[in-house]
Amino acid sequence: MTIIEKIIAAHSVEESLKPGDIVDIEIDARVARDFGGPNVVKNIETFGLSVENPAKTFFTFDTNPTGSDQKYAANQQIVRVFARKHGIKVFDINNGIGTHTLIREGLAWPGSTAVTTDSHANILGAIGAFGQGMGDKDIAAAFYRGKVWFKVPPSVKIILTGKLPKGVTAKDIILNLLHRFGANTLLGTAVEFYGDVVDKLSLDQRITIASMGTEMGVIILLFPPNKEVMEFCEKAANRKLASVFADDDAVYADEYTIDVSRFVPMVSRPGKPHDTVNINTEKRVKIDSAFVGSCTNGRMEDMRAVARILKGRKVAPGVVLKIVPSTDKIWRQCLDEGLMTIFKDSGALVSNAGCAGCAAGQVGQNGPGEVTISTGNRNFPGKQGKGLVYLASPASVAASAMAGYITTEDDIPERPASFDYENEEVDYKPASQHKHIPMDKPIEIKGRVWLIRKDDIDTDMIYHNRYLQITDPEKMGQYIFDNLEGYEDFAQNVKPGDIVVTGKNFGAGSSRQQAVDGFKTLGVQAILAESFGAIYERNAINAAMPILTYDTLENVDLQKGDVIRVNFTTGVLTNERNSHSTHISPFSEVQMEIYKNDGLF
């Protein structure tokens, strides 16, 4: 078996597993954040559920650790009261990013399993553990049962050979891999890394790479632990640990050998993390702000790299540099090593540990017309504000902050550039609200098609993070697709019973249930896609929202506005306009059971 198959088998009743098998997995750490946590609490209390094992259950406050937003502050207090009632440990606002906490506190270790409401929980692949971001229904079920159902993914092996060129960092490695594979080539797979290059990677470097597995569309990027990682995890867990390695005869869906000596410093252009190019092609693009932090690049090695570049220099006029360490321990270490003095002397803003700009957090948002270069993992439209966001390594971000434009560490000018800026206001008008229309649970449906020929539609395009504080599903539908270019008026024009047909990797990105529930509020009968983001697929199935995948629809000549019939059991799809039929993937047994039950609960 592969690593992922061994980990899942060890946490199930099965001795061996293969891709496609669906099993219940025992979860070692069940975690919810201040973002998503209140909905987990709501599900538990609404359905009268208990907490199976409080000692394995945790809350982490990392998306808005300052409590600077009143709704976040209220949600955090809801969670605190629930946690006290059930004896659950809360890693509160003074702690930092939850996934990093799991590693630091020994709550995740090589071969362990963890689920959280953080879509980057697969960061735990850095230590050879299984981590998954899931929606609030899944996490509530994990709190209650201690287990979740899971489909074993196919595994892919990537062997990195050669020698990294000077100036190429761990962030550049993952950006080069995104350039090679995009957001859906490896969709739904578990990727294992091997080679001399991988063996030499530090824990911080592994975390940087693993944290962007979600942006590649994979279930997880797994690193077999080296000696350094094992020693760190054993110290954190305060016990001897045994790692999990793939068998010599493990079966992989694909295998790639990639020469890293050809890698170059990269940037992701605004809008898509996988739209990566050689940083030289974007050099001298003016910036308004720079951000260092997030679960991808808020580690100690990142802080030291930034301090090395900032020492003795000043942030360029008109540029704001924001620095957010990933954990409080790293924040304190920056203080002890004198890095905080370097940061402040350069003119940077330093905030307390946390997720920062992601999920509309405490620091790192940008405004309309603002151009930001960031070490984050996402730059979807609107994800980090209303401006444009480039993604790059900490070294490149620090260098750019000194220059006033995008550049590299070896090309910082003696005198920084200055610019005159013109910001454009962006008007926003919410879509009209629709009432939810109760639906029966038919096995065959018929409806009008919305044909959206786009790949990689992420959850911020489906349901933007500015509405995340809404917990009433009846109010969610009006905002569906209002951040998807060309479909901003979808909620105003969709009719109950309509069917959405779209491309690859639908629902990529964040683990937000609202991006599913909003369609149900509008009365959309089903969503058909070539493939779905892994978390979105689970959220839809658990909410009894019919989703189906297809390989091709060419032989039914599907056009906008056609009426189709779809059978969930047989997978037969028929276009009523021309009576042409085809087969798509039917419901699995688990999906049908949850669908007939009208949801996971």
Selection from 26, 60, 55 nearest residue 328 by Cα? 60
Under the banding of pLDDT at 50, 70 and 90, the label for residue 98 is: very high
More confident residue, 423 or 237: 237
Edge-first strand order for the sheet with 254-259 is: 220-222, 190-194, 155-161, 254-259
Q: How far apart are CA 394 and CA 399, in angstroms?
A: 8
Is residue 429 predicted with pLDDT exceeding 60?
A: no
Record: fold of 444-596: Aconitase; domain 4 (3.20.19)
Under the banding of pLDDT at 50, 70 and 90, the label for residue 420 is: low
Q: How far apart are CA 591 and CA 152, in angstroms?
A: 15
Under the banding of pLDDT at 50, 70 and 90, the label for residue 424 is: very low
Under the banding of pLDDT at 50, 70 and 90, the label for residue 73 is: confident
Tell me the CATH number for domain 3-262: 3.30.499.10
Cα–Cα distance list, 204 to 232, 303, 348 (Å): 11, 11, 23
pLDDT at 419: 60
3-class DSSP assignment, residue 455 = coil
Residues of the chain with pLDDT > 70, as a percent, come to: 96
| 8 A C-beta contact, residue 210 and residue 126 | yes
| 8 A C-beta contact, residue 589 and residue 434 | no
**Structure confidence by residue, pLDDT tens digits, 489-509:** 999 999 999 999 999 999 999
For the beta carbon of residue 171, count every other beta carbon within 10 angstroms: 30
Selection from 300, 375, 374, 313 nearest residue 342 by Cα? 313
| 8 A C-beta contact, residue 379 and residue 371 | no
Which residues contact residue 555 at a Cβ distance below 8 angstroms, ignoring those fewer than 6 apart?
A: 580, 582
Cα–Cα distance list, 492 to 434, 451, 469, 485 (Å): 8, 16, 22, 15
Is residue 398 predicted with pLDDT exceeding 70?
A: yes
Q: What is the sign, positive or negative, of the torsion defined by CA atoms of 352, 139, 383, 183?
A: positive
Is residue 467 predicted with pLDDT exceeding 90?
A: no
Q: What is the largest CA-CA distance in the chain?
A: 72
Comma-separated ranges of CATH 3.30.499.10 domains in the chain: 3-262, 266-411
Which residues contact residue 30 at a Cβ distance below 8 angstroms, ignoring those fewer than 6 apart?
A: 56, 57, 58, 114, 115, 139, 142, 143, 146
**Structure confidence by residue, pLDDT tens digits, 514-544:** 999 999 999 999 999 999 999 999 999 999 9
Under the banding of pLDDT at 50, 70 and 90, the label for residue 427 is: very low
Give, for 255, the enclosing helix (H) or strand (E): strand 254-259
Please give the class, per CATH, of domain 266-411.
alpha beta
pLDDT at 360: 65
Under the banding of pLDDT at 50, 70 and 90, the label for residue 417 is: confident
The pLDDT of 451-467, averaged and rounded, is 93
Selection from 387, 417, 419, 421 nearest residue 402 by Cα? 417
Is residue 439 predicted with pLDDT exceeding 70?
A: no
pLDDT at 263: 97
471 alpha-carbon distance from chain centroid: 21
Average pLDDT, the chain: 92
Comma-separated ranges of CATH 3.20.19.10 domains in the chain: 444-596
Worst-scoring range by mean pLDDT, 60-74, 139-153, 291-305?
Answer: 60-74
**Structure confidence by residue, pLDDT tens digits, 557-585:** 999 999 999 999 999 999 999 999 999 99
Is residue 208 predicted with pLDDT exceeding 80?
A: yes
Is residue 160 predicted with pLDDT exceeding 90?
A: yes
Worst-scoring range by mean pLDDT, 288-297, 311-320, 411-420?
Answer: 411-420
The pLDDT of 230-258, averaged and rounded, is 96
Residues of the chain with pLDDT > 90, as a percent, come to: 84
Selection from 233, 255, 250 nearest residue 242 by Cα? 233
| 8 A C-beta contact, residue 186 and residue 221 | no
Is residue 395 predicted with pLDDT exceeding 90?
A: yes
pLDDT at 348: 97
Q: What is the DSSP letter of 553?
A: -
Under the banding of pLDDT at 50, 70 and 90, the label for residue 428 is: very low
Worst-scoring range by mean pLDDT, 69-73, 166-170, 248-252, 522-526?
Answer: 69-73
pLDDT at 366: 87
Which residues contact residue 140 at a Cβ distance below 8 angstroms, ignoring those fewer than 6 apart?
A: 40, 43, 44, 47, 49, 601
Q: How far apart are CA 120 and CA 98, in angstroms?
A: 10
| 8 A C-beta contact, residue 553 and residue 453 | no
The pLDDT of 406-412, averaged and rounded, is 95
Is residue 431 predicted with pLDDT exceeding 90?
A: no
